[in-house]
Amino acid sequence: MSEPLVRLRGLRKTFGGRTALAGVDLTIDGRQIFGVVGPDGAGKTTLLRAIAGLLEISADDARVLGVDLRGDVRALKAQIGYVPQSFSLHRELSVFENLRFTARLHRLGDAEFKERAEGRLRPRASASCRRRARPRDGRRRGTSRCAPGALLRAL
């Protein structure tokens, strides 16, 4: 029999002092449709993000498509995607800062990030997307107007 598509044993994830996942065991053999259900705050999204390789986790064993989630997950990311329920930007960051944040989540190195971002943002938009929108009182409020279009072009 071949290796399971997903094999998790003792999967754990904490955020600071807060435990989001405490010893999750899950095996998915072959192609299946399954659901993850539970109340708000139960760890459903954290589990799915961990399976997609988007989080650094602790586990006795954690493999998805043969890739160990406790190590380099770039090979997994070439085979799997994660689409959150809603697309959102961190409004206190510029578009460029949002891109950098997302790149770090995907463990993209600084040099590769800079090359990709500069190459995909329009030259004029690149400079403006580094700035935050600032009202007259000087306080930061949200991303600049280039946010949606520039971000989508960069991705």
Domain ranges of the chain: 6-77, 95-154
Report if pTM > 0.85: no
Cα–Cα distance, 57 to 11 (Å, whole number): 7
Whether the CB-CB separation of 93 and 144 falls below 8 Å is answered with no
pLDDT score at 143: 43
Tell me which CATH code domain 6-77 carries: 3.40.50.300
Whether the CB-CB separation of 150 and 95 falls below 8 Å is answered with yes
pLDDT score at 87: 60
Which letter, b or e, does each residue of 108-120 get, where b requires 16 or more Cβ atoms within 10 Å of its Cβ? beeeebeeebeeb
**Tens digits of pLDDT across the chain (155 residues):** 688 999 999 999 999 999 999 999 999 998 888 889 999 889 999 999 999 998 999 999 999 999 999 999 989 988 887 777 666 667 777 777 878 887 887 778 888 888 877 776 655 555 556 555 444 455 544 444 454 444 444 44
Q: At what angle do helices 147-154 and 95-105 cross, to 10 degrees?
A: 40
Whether the CB-CB separation of 51 and 6 falls below 8 Å is answered with yes
